Amino acid sequence: MNCRSAQEFLLLEESGDLSARRLARLERHLSTCASCRDARASNRLVLDAVRGSLPSGEPSPAVLARISAAASSRAVRPALVFLPAPARLLAAAALFAVLLAGVYSLVARRETAARMEAEDVVAITAMLGHEPESAPGKDTALTPDEELTILARQLLRLEGLQAEEASLDDLMLSEESAPTDLQSRSASAYRPA
Amino acid sequence: MEPSDVELLKMYRGGDLSGLEKLIDRHRKPLFGYIWNMCNSQHESEEVFQEVWLRVIRNAGSYREKSFRAWLSRIAHNLVVDRWRSRKATVSLDMDDGEGRGVKDAMADKRMNPAGVAADAELGRRIAEAISSLPSEQREVVIMRTKGGLSFKEIARAQGVSINTALARMQYGLSKLRPLLKGEFESLNGGVA
């Protein structure tokens, strides 16, 4: 090692930047070079004197309070805000994809429900033995709402027949009418309106 | 065992304000010491100090450096350089320390020099004069090393130069300061058996 390198190594040694291997090399040089030993002592003296001479100062409590306030207003926000920009973008994209999937699922379920309702109308109508009504002047294809309306009417008719049957039962219990009377009465009850 | 700077920053990112408070406390003195000796006044020093921490708070999420102290110093360096460019400021012995005192008076005040190494106020004045006369890059290296406590690796990173350049700047600064302490050095050497 020459003295020029040693001068640099002395500064690095003082700041703690020197590796153990290089420190050993420096020590070997210093053991044989008085000039560099003087330089090491001189450096330490100057740097200590500078440290002691230059004032340090302190920030005021008001400044520290302002920094603390800024820090706390940031700290209460979700940790998401501290994600780097690319990660935030990724998170936003993922959220958007989830929302989109949710909306699609909702729309698909509604369509399925509407289709099922229409199928139910057809099935129930078939059970009741009636052809589905169609609005005058319209094509045979009905909207879900129209089909539901028809179904509702069918069900009300069914309820009406049931109500008449119930009253017939009451009649059978309360009166001891002739069978023929009963038969004629029940027959008229089941006659479609 | 004390948590590292990175661990404290992670705590803060997780919403724990005490992480940042500990960081501020840990780095307050060296950071402000560096800024104070690079700026014109207590007020300006406090503005720069505050802005450093506001930038840390804003960018905590994207922090990826190996050394928090080097990152902090680079932010401070950039802010100080901005101030220089806007006003071509230099460390002046007549600058106010915020309490109506000049730096000369502050150096003579033992309260500002707790280490008490440079007991001679006149010597301290000459050292401060010599430092203020250095070119800004060399002055910054000396102050970062002595008041900021940065290693040369960190100084190089803060200034955006190679470690060899940082060392060269320090060598230059020491060569200007060494003659001021020639008498002290000789008496020190004379005392060694």
Q: Name A41's Cβ contacts closer than 8 Å, sequence gap at least 6.
A: B185, B188, B189
Per-residue pLDDT of chain A (193 residues; tens, 9 = 90+): 899 999 999 999 999 989 999 999 999 999 999 999 999 999 998 998 898 888 878 999 999 999 999 998 876 554 555 555 676 677 777 777 878 887 777 777 777 766 766 666 666 666 656 554 544 444 556 777 777 777 777 776 666 655 555 444 554 444 444 444 444 444 444 444 4
Asked if A99 is an interface residue toward chain B (Cβ–Cβ < 8 A), one would say no
SS3 B96: strand
- Residue partners of A125: CB distance under 8 A and separation at least 6: A131, A132, A150, A151, A154
Q: How many CB pairs under 8 A join A and B?
A: 157
Tell whether B122 is within 8 A of chain A (Cβ). Answer: no
Instruction: Retrieve residue B34's tokens.
Output: 């560096």
User: Chain A: nearest CA to B193, how far in angstroms?
Assistant: 14
Residue in the structure block whose two tokens are 């930047």: A17
Task: With CA atoms as reference, report the closest residue to B56 among B4, B112, B99, B6.
Answer: B6
pLDDT of residue A173: 44
Across the interface, whether the CB atoms of B57 and A15 are under 8 A apart is answered no
DSSP state of A56: -
Residue B186 tokens read as: 């000789």
Which residues of chain A does B94 touch, with a Cβ-Cβ cutoff of 8 Å?
none
Residue from B180, B174, B172 nearest B123 by CA: B180
> With an 8 Å Cβ cutoff, is B20 touching chain A?
yes
**Chain A residues lying within 8 Å of B117, measured CB to CB:** 48-49, 51-53
Q: Which amino acid is at A146?
A: E
Other CB atoms within 10 Å distance of the CB of residue B65: 14
Residue type, A14: E
Cα–Cα dist B150/A15, whole Å: 8
Which of B50, B150, B177 is nearest residue A50 as measured by Cβ atoms? Answer: B177
Q: Can you read off the two tokens belonging to residue A164?
A: 């008449």
Tell me if A82 and B61 make a contact (CB, 8 A cut-off).
yes
Q: Under an 8 A CB cutoff, do B181 and A49 touch? A: yes
- Orientation of helix B163-177 relative to helix B152-159, angle to 10°: 110
Of the candidates B155, A21, B150, B137, the one whose C-alpha atom is nearest the C-alpha of residue A1 is A21
The interface predicted TM-score of the complex, written ipTM, equals 0.76
- Interface probe for A, chosen from B6, B103, B171, B174 (most Cβ of A below 10 Å), is B174
Read off the amino acid at residue B143: I
Closest residue of chain B to A64, computed from CA coordinates: B50
Measured CA to CA, the distance from residue B53 to residue B75 in angstroms comes to 9
**Best mutation target, A11, A12, A67, to test chain B (most B CBs within 10 A):** A67
Residues 6+ away with beta carbon under 8 Å from B125: B93, B104, B107
Selected for mutation to probe chain A from B10, B11, B47, B53 (highest A CB count within 10 Å) is B53
CA–CA dist A110, A116 (Å, integer): 10
Helix axes B42-58, A61-75, angle to 10 degrees: 10
Cβ pair A75:B17 closer than 8 A: yes
* Residue ranges of B 129-168 with Cβ closer than 8 A to chain A: 131, 142-143, 145-147, 150-153, 163-164, 167
CB A46 within 8 A of CB B178: yes
pLDDT lower than 50: segments of chain B: 89-95, 97-118, 191-193
**Amino acid identity for residue B113 in this structure:** N
What pLDDT shows up at residue A126?
65
Neighboring chain A residues of B103 at a CB cutoff of 8 Å: 55
